[in-house]
Amino acid sequence: MAKHTGECRTKWPCYFRSKVEWSSPALMKYMLAGPIRKGITSIPGLNVFVCPVAGNPKSVSKWMKFDTPAALRQFKALQTAAFNSPSARGNLQSGMCRGNPRMKHHVGCWLTEWVQGGGKFTVSSNPEEADTQSNGFTYNKHARNPQCVHCTPDKNCFKPSWHLQ
C-alpha cells in the first residue's frame, strides 16, 4: 500500500522496515552496538527503532523513518558502499578486513563481518532484499512500543533484557 501512495518517491516522511538474523554474537554487537549502528544512525533525517523478534534471540526487526529524500539517498549510498560495492566485495575476497583491527570499523569491511557472522535478511522471502517499504502507522506503533529501542550513534540498538545471542 505504501508504494501506491507514493511514499519514498513523492511523499515525506517515508518508511522502511527490515528484519535480520545472525549466527555469531559478534555480528549482533557489530550491527547493534558498533559500526553499522553508528553509520546508519548518523544520517541526518533518519530515525531508527529496533525491536526484538519473539522467540528468536538471534534476530531483530528495524523500523526506519526518512524525513527527507536526502536522508533516503544517503542511506542507500551507505548500503551500496557497505554491501554492494566492488571494494566491499574485493575486501571480502582478499581477506583484507579479517584480523586487521584498523580496518574492522571501516564501511568497506561491513560485508566481511556480515558474511563471517552469518548475517541474513529475512524481511521477505528474498534473502537479498534488505528493506521493504512500510507506512507511518506501523512505524509509529513500533516507535511507541516500550520493548523497542530508539537507536542513535551513542545508544545501542538493543536492551540486555532481550537476551540476544
The C-alpha atoms of residue 99 and residue 154 are separated, in whole angstroms, by 25
pLDDT, residue 95, reads 84
Q: What is the mean pLDDT of the segment spanning 15-35?
A: 95
Radius of gyration of the chain (CA): 15
Q: Is the pLDDT of residue 40 over 50?
A: yes
The C-alpha atoms of residue 61 and residue 54 are separated, in whole angstroms, by 10
Q: Residue 5 — very low, low, confident or very high, per pLDDT cuts 50/70/90?
A: low
**156 CB-near residues (< 8 Å, 6+ apart):** 32, 33, 37, 149
Q: Which residues of 57-82 are buried (b: 16+ CB within 10 A; e: fewer)?
A: ebbbbbbbbbeeeebbebbeebbebb
Q: Is the pLDDT of residue 35 over 60?
A: yes
Neighbours of 158 (CB within 10 A): 22
The C-alpha atoms of residue 113 and residue 101 are separated, in whole angstroms, by 12
pLDDT, residue 94, reads 86
3-class SS of residue 78: helix
Per-residue pLDDT tens over the stretch 78-136: 999 999 888 888 988 888 888 777 787 889 999 999 999 999 999 988 888 889 999 99
Q: Select from 155, 153, 147, 154 the least CA-distant residue to 60.
A: 147
Cα-Cα end-to-end distance for the chain: 34
Per-residue pLDDT tens over the stretch 49-64: 999 999 999 999 999 9
Beta strands in the chain (DSSP E): 14-21, 46-53, 56-66, 120-121, 132-133, 149-151
Per-residue pLDDT tens over the stretch 64-79: 999 999 999 999 999 9
pLDDT, residue 1, reads 42
pLDDT, residue 118, reads 95
Q: Is the pLDDT of residue 2 over 60?
A: no
Q: Residue 20 — very low, low, confident or very high, per pLDDT cuts 50/70/90?
A: very high
